[in-house]
Amino acid sequence: MTTTHCPYCSLQCGMTLRREGRALTVGPWAEFPVNEGALCRKGWTSAGLRGHRERLTTPLVRDRAADGSRGELRAATWDEALDLVASELSRVRTEHGADGVAVFGAGGLTNEKAYALGKFARVALGTSQIDYNGRWCMSSAASAGLRALGLDRGLPFPLADVEKADVLVLAGSNLAETAPPAARHLDRLRARGGQVVVVDPRRTPTAERSDLHLAPVPGTDLALALGVLHLVVAAGAVDEAYVAARTTGFDEVRRSVATWWPEQVERVTGIAAAEVRALADLLIGTARAGGRVLVLTARGVEQHSQGSDTVLAWINVALALGMPGREGAGYGCLTGQGNGQGGREHGQKADQLPGYRSIEDPAARAHVAAVWGVDPASLPGKGRSAYELLDALGRPATDDQPAGPRAMLVLGSNIVVSAPNALHVTERLRSLDLLVVADLVLSETAALADVVLPVTQWAEETGTMTNLEGRVVLRQRAITPPAGVRTDLEVIAALAERLDAPSTFPTDPEEVFAELGRASAGGPADYAGITYDRIRTEQGVFWPCPAPYADGTPHPGTPRLFADRFGHPDGRARFLVTTFRGAAEQPCDDFPLHLTTGRVLGQYQSGAQTRRVKDLPDTGPYVELHPLLARRLGTTDGEVLTVRTRRGAMRAPARVVETIRPDTVFVPFHWVGANRLTNDALDPASRMPEFKVCAAAVTA
């Protein structure tokens, strides 16, 4: 039996794997504190890809004719595939410069892979053009956390602290469907007399477990947070002693919310002024009684062109009430992807080096370059963010922009399904001279590739993940990979060798993790004191965890942040002014409805894995709409509808429900179609696309 962790969401639930003949059986790991043996249906069926008929076990290469036309993918040897990739990457670099080559990673990669991929891009390729799909997960919360609190860790406390709150505000989270084992904390909170507030335009299963549900017009969440702070100020409920001792900038924020009275909030959000007051009264009364208020944000309020401002506004509310730093109170972000936290800490993000260091910081560059054994001057600077990188693929230089990459290596990301404005992104991918995809199956993105490299899945390899709490956990290999499959670390090392990289690229994950620890040492996300043995013994270690003290005593790790000081050099949090603009795209005569997207219980992300697990319900896409809208359209449940936006169209059957606003339709994003509709407008701070709202038209 092997103890390990689920391959899906950021809870990284503990589980056991047992070989029983050819079968691999999932069992509970009751001692692991995050889930206490509980798993959702995705976790229980996570061994379903083992032996799947669509599993890739040999490299695939697409031949091209002399005129450049593309043939079919055919089987190839590893040497042929890797030699071709290295040769083409070298050619593109020679003809177009180092930034002619791009790398696209994923929030599902282990810490070791994310670290090695960032090192490969900057050392073996010399390119600045690297980013990852985690930019589309919690980058808005990360940006806001860095600016306001001085540090970005999704939850600055253990998940179990949630149930200690007296009032929990879930802004844009459907926890009961996206991370079901975590929803027990809501039930425990309520059982001890606490209250749960859910902000969501749909009455989701999470909202059903709440005491107060507010359903704003999509794209207006910021206005609600501004209105709540207005009422906190008007009631004289600001914790002035806390604000004076632990923060800066409140006077400007106090003035900025003066016009956000409840009736103004109602006009913008559609939430009744009485409900806005009810929420504010609940928070104020709890704070005045010495209780604990906790605000958690998630993709519903973050995946907007004002997502980072919305998070900042909720942080302002928490700070004004004097909550951050108290156990069971404050602010946190519910990370989505399995390694959404660790994936952005160690270098696969365009602006970062290992340890959550800025790539533009000379001291950070010198430290990491010394670990890698290269000249700091040889490291490239900051590159394009994820969507901007994809949008630039294959483009010639203009007066305003340098030429886009001509070749790209993709690890663990199904861009064709997951990118906003996906039809446009697909065309950019088709324009490349070389597209290389490493994956388990022939995903929609792999099907476009010139070279497909078959890699191991989670149960076939060892590596660390960092869950939503900042707890570094260890996935342990339980089974032998199929013949012909290699790990991503082996792929990276083989390409680095062929490219004559001026550094070593180990393939043993424990050796890579030790190097990651040295590279992260002294950075905000310091892993220097974490080892595989410690993780096994302690069931995970919270970062920051610096190297042992001078007397050899190990650092204990940091389960809770901000008790005494925030992450800024002066130890103070920052109140920051935010100004409501609304969604980038508003309804009009041609597109009169709001479209929003999200996840469903039985599927995960682009569905490349879960849609192939036979025990998970693969319903296909659907269009959720209110009975009033259905009546206006003359449609009924099950009838196929067409949803159009300015970027594309899709057809899917109707689901008529009373749990959504009448002016809004919902489409799940696990299948091809939804992201052909979504808007690529970007948050100016986080560069997060506006997945969660755009103008749409629906016809029967």
Strand-pairing partners, residue 453, are 438
Interval 408-444: pLDDT, tens: 999 999 999 999 999 999 999 999 999 999 999 999 9
Residue in the block written with tokens 């036979």: 614
621 phi and psi angles, rounded to 5 deg:
-70, 160
End-to-end C-alpha distance for the chain, whole angstroms = 53
Do 475 and 456 fall within a single domain? Answer: yes
- Per-residue confidence at 20, pLDDT binned at 50, 70, 90? confident
Asked if pLDDT for residue 31 goes beyond 80, the answer is yes
Q: How far is CA 11 from CA 329, 603, 609, in A?
A: 20, 16, 18
* Confidence at residue 617, expressed as pLDDT on a 0 to 100 scale: 84
CA dihedral 377, 380, 382, 383 (to 10 degrees): 170
Q: Is residue 575 part of a domain?
A: no
Q: What pLDDT does residue 91 have?
A: 97
Could you tell me the pTM of the whole model?
0.96
Of 334, 361, 388, at which residue does a domain stop?
Answer: 334
Distance CA 542, CA 540 (A): 7
The CATH number linked to 44 is 2.20.25.90
Mark whether 525 and 490 lie in a shared domain. Answer: yes
Residue 597: name the closest of 630, 615, 622 by CA.
622
Residue 299 lies in a domain: yes
pLDDT digits (tens, 9 = 90+) for 530-554: 999 999 999 999 999 999 999 999 9
> Is residue 297 located within the same domain as residue 354?
no
User: What's the rounded Cα separation, in Å, for the pair 447 and 247?
Assistant: 51
Per-residue model confidence (pLDDT) at position 605:
87
Reply yes or no on whether the pLDDT at 50 is more than 90: no
The answer to whether residues 391 and 518 belong to one domain is yes
User: pLDDT tens for residues 439-480?
Assistant: 999 999 999 999 999 999 999 999 999 999 999 999 999 999
| 257 and 195 in a common domain | yes
Instruction: Give the total residue count for the chain.
Output: 700
pLDDT at res. 271: 98
Q: What's the confidence (pLDDT) of residue 409?
A: 98
pLDDT score of 408: 98
- Position 295 scores a pLDDT of 98
Which one of 542, 558, 584 terminates a domain? 542
What six digits make up the tokens of 200? 């969501």
Q: What is the 3-state secondary structure (H, E, C) of 357-424?
A: EECCCHHHHHHHHHHHCCCHHHCCCCCCCHHHHHHHCCCCCCCCCCCCCCEEEEECCCHHHHCCCHHH
Q: How far apart are CA 12 and CA 117, in angstroms?
A: 22
Q: Name the domain boundary from 519, 542, 565.
A: 542
Residue 412 is predicted with a pLDDT of 92
Give yes or no: residues 374 and 266 share one domain: no
Q: Does 12 lie in the same domain as 132?
A: no
Three-state SS sequence of 252-311 = HHHHHCCCCCHHHHHHHHCCCHHHHHHHHHHHHHHHHCCCCEEEEECHHHHCCCCHHHHH
Residue pair 176/490 in contact by the 8 Å Cβ criterion: no
The pLDDT of residue 205 is 95
CATH of the domain at 474: 3.40.50.740
pLDDT of residue 493: 98
Domain assignment present for residue 565? The answer is no
Please state, in angstroms and rounded to a whole number, the distance separating the CA atoms of residues 643 and 650.
Answer: 5
- In the numeric block, which tokens belong to residue 221? 């969440």
Distance from C-alpha of 460 to C-alpha of 55, rounded to nearest angstrom: 13
- Lowest mean per-residue pLDDT among 47-51, 332-336, 574-578: 47-51
pLDDT tier for residue 49 given thresholds of 50, 70 and 90: confident
Instruction: Report the CATH number that the domain containing residue 600 is assigned in CATH.
Output: 2.40.40.20
Q: Residue 607 pLDDT > 90, yes or no?
A: no
560: in domain: no
Residue 245 class from Cβ within 10 Å (0-12 exposed, 13-18 middle, 19+ buried)? exposed
* Mean pLDDT of all residues in 568-596: 97
Mean pLDDT of the chain: 96
Give the whole-number percent of the chain exceeding pLDDT 70: 100
- Percent of the chain clearing pLDDT 90 (strictly above): 92
Per residue in 174-197, pLDDT tens?
999 999 999 999 999 999 999 999
Domain that holds residue 608: 593-699
The CATH number of residue 162's host domain is: 3.40.228.10
Rounded CA separation 242/321 (Å): 8
CA-angle at 111, arms to 671 and 499, nearest 5°: 95
Could you tell me if 364 and 504 lie in one domain? Answer: yes
Closest CA to 603 of 590, 592, 612, 591: 612
CA distance 575 to 322: 12
pLDDT of 64-94, one tens digit each? 877 777 899 999 999 999 999 999 999 999 9
**pLDDT above 80 (res 307):** yes
Residue 564 lies in a domain: no
The reply to whether 586 falls in a domain is no
Token duo for residue 699: 């016809």
SS3 string of 471-524? EEEEECCCCCCCCCCECHHHHHHHHHHHCCCCCCCCCCHHHHHHHHHHHHCCCC
Check whether residue 363 and residue 314 sit in a common domain.
no
Judge whether 104 and 389 are in contact, CB under 8 Å: yes
- Statement: residue 137 has pLDDT above 90: no
For CA atoms 272, 273, 278, 279, the dihedral sign is positive
How high is the pLDDT of residue 416? 96
pLDDT value at residue 138: 85
Do 656 and 519 lie in one domain? The reply is: no
| Any domain includes 558 | no
The structural domain count of the chain equals 4
Residue 507 lies in a domain: yes
Tell me: do 250 and 348 sit in the same domain: no
**Residue 248 gets which letter from DSSP?**
E
Distance separating alpha carbons of residues 156 and 35, to the nearest angstrom: 18
Q: In the structure, what pLDDT confidence band is assigned to residue 375 with cuts at 50, 70 and 90?
A: very high
Specify whether 75 is located in the same domain as 43: no
DSSP state, residue 135: G
Whole-number pLDDT of residue 694: 98
